[in-house]
C-alpha cells in the first residue's frame, strides 16, 4: 500500500508517492490552483496516475492558514472577553520596536472594536472564581453576532490559563445558543500567561478556522470520491502531524504547515549521514525559508509573529523557529521612484507566474533572471512539461529594468540574482550568527524548486563548507511529510523559585501531562502508533526578569542538573550567566511524539528513468568569472554514487536544477545526495 504526501505551495503543488514493497518513490509537480487548492490536489493525483484507493496514508501540508491571515481573507470574527478587557488586542505589549520611526504602524486587529464584546466574569490570578459568568448576557451577545453576520467567535477570559472553568461554561452555552458559527476558547489552544499573546492566538484561530475547515472538507471529498479509506493527516507547525479532524479545530497550529516538513526531512538526512548540525534552506516560488537543526533537533519557539515582530499577529503556540523572506523564484524584481532596485516580497505566484511561463506574467522575476543567465533549461522545466519563453523574459527585463538603468539584460539579471542571494543569506544569518551560532559549524541542506540554484552562492557568502542536495529537492517537503510522526504539545504554568520542592511538584505535572498526551494521541490514531516519546522543557529566568529562556530537561529532575542546564541555555542566548542570582521556573512544556509505522530515508529510492550518462553543454553566466562559461550539463539520474565533479557545472532533474559554481567540488554519496564542497569566496 503506497503512502502519499501532497504539499501545496504558493506556486506549485508537489506530490510524493512511496511504495514500501519496492522502496521506490514517484514524484509530481503541478501549478497550484489558488481559487480552489483542492482542485490542484485532484489534478496532481490525476496527472501522475496515483490511485489513493489503496493508499495506506495521505499526508498534506498547506500554506492556506498563513495566507488567510496575511491576505486578510478570513472569517468575520468577534471576541468575547472579560468585562474591561476588550482593548487588549489594540494595547498589545505597549512596546515600540521602532522607536524613532514616526511612520511605524501595527497591523490592524483582526477583530474591529465593535465586535469585541464584554461579558461579566472574573477569575483571580491564582485560579479562584471571583465572579461567576453572567450567562444571561449571552442573549444580547448572540443577537449582536447575528446582526453583524459574524462567522466565528474567540473567547478569552483573564486568568483562564490558571483555571478555564468560566471559559468552558461560556463556550458550551454559546455553542448551544449559536450553533451557526465556529467557537474557539483560549484554553483549548494555550495554557500560558500573557493576556495579549493568548488573546491574539485565540483570535487568529477563530479567524482562520471556517476557511480551513471548508478547505480540508474539500480535500476529504476529493479523497472520498477516490475511495481512500486510510488516515488523512495534516502537517502542523510544531513539526508533527495530526488528523484532519483535529486540525480543523486548531487552525493556528497550521501557520507553517508546508515548510516544516522540509525541515523534518533535513533532520532525517542528518540522522542518515551522522551530521547533527544543519541549516535547512527551502526556496520555493513565493518565499525562501530557513531553519536550524541543532544536535539533530529543529528548535521551536512559542512566540511566533505573522507579519513580523512588533507589528504582526503573535501566536502563543509551538512553531518551528524559522525565518521566511519574500525571495522565491516568482519574486518580482522592481525599481522604486528614486531608482532603488528590489527583489520581492511581492510574487508572481502561480497565476500569472514568471514571464517565462507564458501564462500572462509581465513583470521580471528571479526565475526569469536565472533563465536569462543560462542557469535554467528552457526546454526541460518541470520534467519537460513546461517550455520556458526566454525571449519574453528578455523583453520584460529590458522594458522594466535594464533599459531604465542603461545596463545590458545579462548584467541586470545577474544583479537580480545577487540581490535575491543577499536577501536569502540574511535569513540564514538571522538563524545562526544573530543567535550566537557560527554558520561554519553547519552544513546547508538545500531543497525546493529554487534552493539548489542558489545554495552554493549563499553558502560561499556565509563560509558554510558543505551543501547537501537531497534527491528530488523540488518535492522534498512532500517527502518530509511521509517521514513525520504525530505530535501533541502541552504547557502549564509553575512560576515558583527553583527549589527541590518545586521540582517534586513539576515532576507530578509532567507525569499528568504525559498521561494526557499519550491518551490523546492513541485516541486520535488508535492504530499505527507504537511508542510515545516525550521531550521535556522548562521556561526559566532569573528572579526579577520578565523574559525567559527555553531549557531542555533530562528524564530526571535533579536540582543541580536543572540549574546547570538553565545556565548553559542562558549563556548561549546572552553570552553570560549570573550564577549567583536565584532562578525561577516559570512554566513547563511537553512535546509528545507518537511514533508511527512509516518510511525512512534509507528505504526510499527514486525511480530511475534511463537518461543518458554523458553531459550536454551550454553557456552559463557566472559573475565571479566575469562572464559566460561553457559548462557541462548533467542529468542527475546519470550521477552514480562515488562520482566526483568540479565546477562549473549544471545538474538538471525534473523538479529542480543545481548550480555548481567555479571552485566547487561535488561528490555523490551512497544515498544519492549531492555533497557540494563549497569553494572559497573570490
Q: Kindly report the CATH number assigned to the domain that includes residue 194.
A: 3.40.1360
State whether residue 502 is helix, strand or coil: helix
For residue 602, being part of any structural domain is answered with no
Task: Return d(Cα 340, Cα 150) in angstroms, integer.
Answer: 44
Select from 197, 227, 254 the last residue of a domain.
Answer: 254
For residue 612, being part of any structural domain is answered with no
For residue 415, being part of any structural domain is answered with yes
One domain for residues 178 and 152: yes
One domain for residues 244 and 352: no
CA-to-CA separations, 53 to 83, 230, 527, in angstroms, rounded: 52, 9, 19
Region class of 626: left (phi > 0), else alpha (psi between -120 and 50), else beta: left
Residue 497's pLDDT is 95
One domain for residues 99 and 192: yes
Cell of 330: 516568482
State whether residue 498 is helix, strand or coil: coil
CA-to-CA separations, 158 to 119, 187, 195, in angstroms, rounded: 11, 11, 7
One domain for residues 430 and 578: no
One domain for residues 472 and 532: no
- Which domain CATH number covers 578? 3.30.1490
On whether the CB atoms of residues 75 and 206 are closer than 8 A, the answer is yes
- Please give the tally of structural domains in the chain: 4
Select from 569, 597, 625 the last residue of a domain.
Answer: 597
One domain for residues 169 and 264: no
Residue 603's pLDDT is 66
Q: What is the DSSP string of 198-259?
A: HHHHHHHHHHHHHHHHHHHHHHHHHHHHTT--S-EEEE-TTS-EEEHHHHHH-GGGGTTHHH
Residue 663's pLDDT is 93
For residue 163, being part of any structural domain is answered with yes
Count of residues for the chain? Answer: 682
Cell of 196: 495579549
One domain for residues 376 and 274: yes
One domain for residues 24 and 89: no
Q: In what order do the strands lie in the sheet with 674-677?
A: 322-325, 288-293, 278-283, 443-447, 466-469, 674-677, 665-668, 644-646
To the nearest 5 percent, what fractions of the chain are helix, strand and coil? 35, 30, 35
Boundaries of domain holding 9: 3-69+213-254
Select from 531, 562, 597 the last residue of a domain.
Answer: 597
The alpha carbon of 263 is separated from its chain's Cα centroid by a whole number of angstroms, namely 8
Residue 574's pLDDT is 87
Residue 241, number of CB atoms within 10 A of its CB: 31
For residue 608, being part of any structural domain is answered with no
One domain for residues 98 and 246: no
Residue 526's pLDDT is 65
Bridge partners, residue 612, by sequence: none
Task: Return d(Cα 554, Cα 503) in angstroms, integer.
Answer: 12
Cell of 439: 554558520
CA-to-CA separations, 441 to 113, 289, 432, 438, in angstroms, rounded: 49, 20, 10, 6
For residue 611, being part of any structural domain is answered with no
On whether the CB atoms of residues 634 and 645 are closer than 8 A, the answer is yes
Report the predicted TM-score, pTM, of the whole model to 2 decimal places: 0.86
pLDDT averaged over consecutive 10-residue blocks of the chain (682 residues)? Answer: 84 82 78 79 85 89 84 92 93 78 84 96 94 95 95 96 95 95 94 91 96 92 91 91 90 88 92 94 88 90 79 87 86 90 84 88 94 93 81 95 93 95 94 89 94 96 96 87 90 92 96 94 78 94 92 93 94 87 94 84 59 82 88 91 92 92 94 91 62
One domain for residues 375 and 437: yes
Cell of 11: 506556486
Cell of 323: 525565518
C-alpha dihedral (34, 39, 45, 51), degrees to nearest 10: 150
Task: Return d(Cα 268, Cα 130) in angstroms, integer.
Answer: 51
Bridge partners, residue 381, by sequence: 386
The backbone torsions φ and ψ at residue 12, rounded to the nearest 5 degrees and listed phi first, read -120, 150
For residue 450, being part of any structural domain is answered with yes
One domain for residues 271 and 406: yes
For residue 604, being part of any structural domain is answered with no
On whether the CB atoms of residues 174 and 206 are closer than 8 A, the answer is no
One domain for residues 403 and 267: yes
- Which domain CATH number covers 50? 3.30.420.40
Amino acid at each position: 500500500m503506497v503512502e502519499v504526501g501532497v504539499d501545496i505551495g504558493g506556486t506549485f503543488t508537489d506530490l510524493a508517492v512511496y511504495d514500501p514493497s519496492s522502496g521506490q518513490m514517484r514524484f509530481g509537480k503541478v501549478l497550484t490552483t489558488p481559487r480552489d487548492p483542492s482542485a490542484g490536489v485532484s489534478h496532481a493525483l490525476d496527472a501522475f496516475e496515483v490511485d489513493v484507493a489503496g493508499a495506506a496514508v495521505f499526508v498534506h501540508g498547506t500554506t492556506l492558514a498563513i495566507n488567510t491571515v496575511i491576505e486578510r481573507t478570513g472569517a468575520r470574527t468577534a471576541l468575547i472577553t472579560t468585562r474591561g478587557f476588550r482593548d487588549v488586542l489594540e494595547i498589545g505589549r505597549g512596546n515600540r520596536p521602532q522607536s524613532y520611526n514616526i511612520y511605524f504602524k501595527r497591523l490592524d486587529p483582526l477583530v474591529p472594536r465593535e465586535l469585541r464584546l464584554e461579558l461579566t466574569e472574573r477569575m483571580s490570578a491564582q485560579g479562584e472564581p471571583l465572579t461567576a459568568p453572567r450567562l444571561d448576557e449571552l442573549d444580547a451577545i448572540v443577537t449582536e453576532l447575528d446582526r453583524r453576520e459574524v462567522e466565528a467567535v474567540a473567547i478569552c477570559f483573564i486568568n483562564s490559563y490558571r483555571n478555564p472553568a468560566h471559559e468552558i461554561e461560556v463556550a458550551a452555552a454559546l455553542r448551544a445558543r449559536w450553533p451557526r458559527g465556529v467557537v474557539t476558547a483560549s484554553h483549548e489552544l494555550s495554557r500560558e500567561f500573557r493576556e495579549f499573546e493568548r488573546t491574539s492566538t485565540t483570535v487568529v484561530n477563530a479567524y482562520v478556522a471556517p476557511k480551513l475547515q471548508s478547505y480540508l472538507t474539500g480535500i476529504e471529498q476529493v479523497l472520498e470520491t477516490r475511495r481512500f479509506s486510510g488516515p488523512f493527516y495534516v502537517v502542523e507547525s510544531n513539526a508533527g502531524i495530526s488528523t484532519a479532524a483535529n486540525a480543523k479545530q486548531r487552525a493556528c497550529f497550521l501557520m507553517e504547515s508546508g515548510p516544516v516538513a522540509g525541515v523534518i526531512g533535513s533532520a532525517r538526512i542528518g540522522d542518515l549521514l551522522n551530521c547533527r548540525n544543519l541549516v535547512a534552506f527551502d526556496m520555493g516560488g513565493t518565499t525562501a525559508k530557513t531553519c536550524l537543526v541543532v544536535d539533530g533537533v529543529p528548535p521551536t519557539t512559542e512566540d511566533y509573529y505573522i507579519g513580523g515582530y512588533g507589528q504582526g499577529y503573535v501566536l502563543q503556540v509551538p512553531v518551528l523557529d524559522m525565518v521566511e523572506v519574500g525571495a522565491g523564484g516568482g519574486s518580482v524584481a522592481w525599481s522604486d521612484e528614486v531608482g532603488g532596485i528590489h527583489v520581492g516580497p511581492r510574487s508572481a505566484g502561480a497565476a500569472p507566474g514568471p514571464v517565462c511561463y507564458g501564462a500572462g506574467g509581465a513583470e521580471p522575476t528571479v526565475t526569469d533572471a536565472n533563465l536569462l543567465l543560462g542557469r535554467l533549461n528552457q526546454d526541460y522545466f518541470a520534467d519537460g512539461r513546461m517550455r520556458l519563453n526566454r525571449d519574453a523574459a528578455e523583453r520584460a527585463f529590458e522594458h522594466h529594468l535594464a533599459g531604465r538603468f542603461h545596463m545590458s539584460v545579462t548584467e541586470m539579471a545577474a544583479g537580480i540574482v545577487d540581490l535575491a542571494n543577499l536577501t536569502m543569506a540574511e535569513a540564514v544569518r538571522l538563524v545562526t550568527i544573530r543567535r550566537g551560532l557560527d554558520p561554519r559549524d553547519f552544513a546547508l541542506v538545500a531543497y525546493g524548486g529554487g534552493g539548489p540554484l542558489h545554495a552554493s552562492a549563499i553558502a560561499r557568502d556565509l563560509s558554510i563548507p558543505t551543501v547537501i542536495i537531497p534527491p528530488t529537492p523540488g518535492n522534498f517537503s512532500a517527502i518530509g511529510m511521509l517521514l513525520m510522526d504525530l505530535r501533541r504539545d502541552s504547557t502549564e504554568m509553575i512560576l515558583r523559585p527553583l527549589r527541590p520542592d518545586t521540582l517534586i511538584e513539576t515532576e507530578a505535572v509532567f507525569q499528568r501531562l504525559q498521561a494526557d498526551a499519550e491518551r490523546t494521541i492513541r485516541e486520535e490514531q488508535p492504530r499505527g502508533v507504537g511508542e510515545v516519546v516525550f521531550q521535556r522543557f522548562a521556561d526559566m529566568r532569573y528572579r526579577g526578569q520578565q523574559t525567559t529562556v527555553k531549557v531542555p530537561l533530562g528524564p530526571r529532575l535533579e536540582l543541580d542538573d536543572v540549574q546547570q542546564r538553565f545556565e548553559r541555555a542562558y549563556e548561549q542566548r546572552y553570552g553570560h550567566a549570573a550564577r549567583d542570582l536565584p532562578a525561577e521556573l516559570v512554566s513547563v512544556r511537553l512535546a509528545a511524539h507518537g511514533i508511527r509505522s512509516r518510511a525512512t530515508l534509507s528505504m526510499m529510492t527514486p525511480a530511475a528513468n534511463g537518461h543518458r550518462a554523458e553531459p550536454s553543454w551550454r553557456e552559463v553566466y557566472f559573475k565571479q568569472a566575469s562572464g559566460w562559461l561553457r559548462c557541462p550539463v548533467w542529468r542527475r539520474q546519470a550521477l552514480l554514487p562515488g562520482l566526483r565533479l568540479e565546477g562549473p557545472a549544471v545538474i538538471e532533474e525534473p523538479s529542480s536544477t543545481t548550480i555548481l559554481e567555479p571552485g566547487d567540488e561535488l561528490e555523490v554519496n551512497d544515498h544519492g545526495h549531492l555533497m557540494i564542497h563549497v569553494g572559497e569566496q573570490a
